[in-house]
Every structure is written in structure tokens, then in C-alpha cells.
Structure 1
Amino acid sequence: MSERDDEIDLDLDSGGKALLGEAPAKKRAKAKPKAKKSKEDSDSRASSKGGVTLPLSMLSASSEDKQLFSDKKAALKASKISPKDYNIKIHLNVGDVVNHKTFGLGFVMAVGGLNKVEVLFDVGRKLLVTGPKP
């Protein structure tokens, strides 16, 4: 027998012992401890699913947003301002009131770059596309 045949025989012998339960137990690697997140690192509006932060448009309304919406809605009734029907072609500014066909009454909270506005609806804040400045 050659040296190579001896190696093959050894491998077969160890495989046979493993099948019969005579093989020594393998050592397992120790797991590394996971780093703990501090409360300061976590975002209160972030999703807890796998540490993934959801986009603004997918988050539900927080209690502060619901309170702010109800306050603005009451002020709107007192001021007799009529909301604009939302259309992708119109330009919106902070403070404008819109009526969206899906989300209903909304208040423009911020104007972002690339013709986008943040609007507060009863269901939460949504990022909408708006027309360019005239």
C-alpha cells in the first residue's frame, strides 16, 4: 500500500467510527457576545423588526402627531380656510392645507428637496411629490 492509500483508509475508519457513535465529540466554537444598544442610539419612530428603520411614509402616526393633527384640524375649522385638492402638479408650501383622495385632510409640515413635501395626515406623516416652484 502506498502512503496515499493509508490516508484514505484512515478517513474511512474515522467515518465508520462516527456512524457507530465511537468518534470523539467535535469542539464547538464559543459564540461572541452581542453588543447591547443604548436607548440613545434607537430612534423612537424606528421599527423593531430586525433593526430596520422604516421610511417616513410607512410609519403609523405617533401620539404627538395625532394630537398635532387634531389641534390643526380644530384651528382650520375656526379659520374657514378651504383645503386645496392634492395634485402632483401643484406647488405646496409649509402651512398649506391639502385634501388627498386616499389620506384625506392633511397639513404641509416641511418642504424637502426634489419637489417633495412632508404632509401630516390623520394616519401619520407622508412624503408626497409636488410640482416645481413657479
Structure 2
Amino acid sequence: MTAAQRKQNKSLVEGIIDKTYFESPESAVKAFEKLREETDINAAKPYSIDVELTENDTVNHPKFGLGFVLELVSPTKVEILFEEGNILKLVCNQASRK
């Protein structure tokens, strides 16, 4: 994802998702759907523990599918919103640690 795409996605995430979207699973699903409509999902990075991720990136996970990185929890962990409204913390950015 280019810096311009990340900036565009960031403004969309900030404009669509706020704390009310996480008050129920149904509202998190709606947030996911709006993000999918407004984001270039063709730029999604294939997920692996080696992939470099940061806030507002879009990922394609082999098990969970399309997801949107909501937060960089630590240098090696991100929080991702997936299609069914699931928000998971996953490991990433491990390539630099090898």
C-alpha cells in the first residue's frame, strides 16, 4: 500500500469508526462493511507474521479473510477488524527481528 493509499484509508477509518461502532457485534460488522465499500481492497497485504503492518493498513488473512488494521498495539502486534465484526490482536513485523 502506498503512502497516499494509507493516508486515504486513514481518513476513511477515522471518519467511519468511532467508539460507538464497537458497542455491539452488529455495529462492528456495519463498520467493516463501510470500510470495505470505501477502501481499495485490491491493495490489501497478504497477512503473515513477517508482514510489516501499521494502523489503517488493509490485510488479507488466510483464515479470517479481509481485515482493517485499527491500531498498532506494539511494534510487533496489531488489532484488526475482520468481516464478522471480530477484532483480533495478531503478531506482525517479525521480519525485522530475524
Number of aligned positions between the proteins: 74
How large is the Cα RMSD of the aligned pairs?
2.3
SS at match of 1:109: strand
5 Å-filtered alignment, 1:85-100, equals 85-100=46-61
5 Å-filtered alignment, 1:1-134, equals 62-76=25-39, 79=40, 81-113=42-74, 115-123=76-84, 124-132=86-94
For CA contacts below 8 A with separation 6 or more, give which structure has more relative contact order: 2
Greater percentage in helix: 2
Greater percentage in strand: 2
Q: C-alpha distance in 2, partners of 1:85/1:133? A: 14
- Per-residue CA deviations over 1:61-90 (Å, capped at 9, x if unaligned) read 7112101000000012xx465210001011
Structure 1 counterpart of 2:44, one-letter code:
P
Unaligned runs of 5+ in 1: 1-43, 46-60
Q: CA deviation at 1:133?
A: 8.8
Which consecutive aligned stretches of 4+ in structure 1 deviate over 4 angstroms post-superposition? none
Residue identity over aligned pairs, in percent, reads 30
Q: TM-score, normalised by structure 2?
A: 0.65
Q: TM-score, normalised by structure 1?
A: 0.49
Unaligned runs of 5+ in 2: 1-21
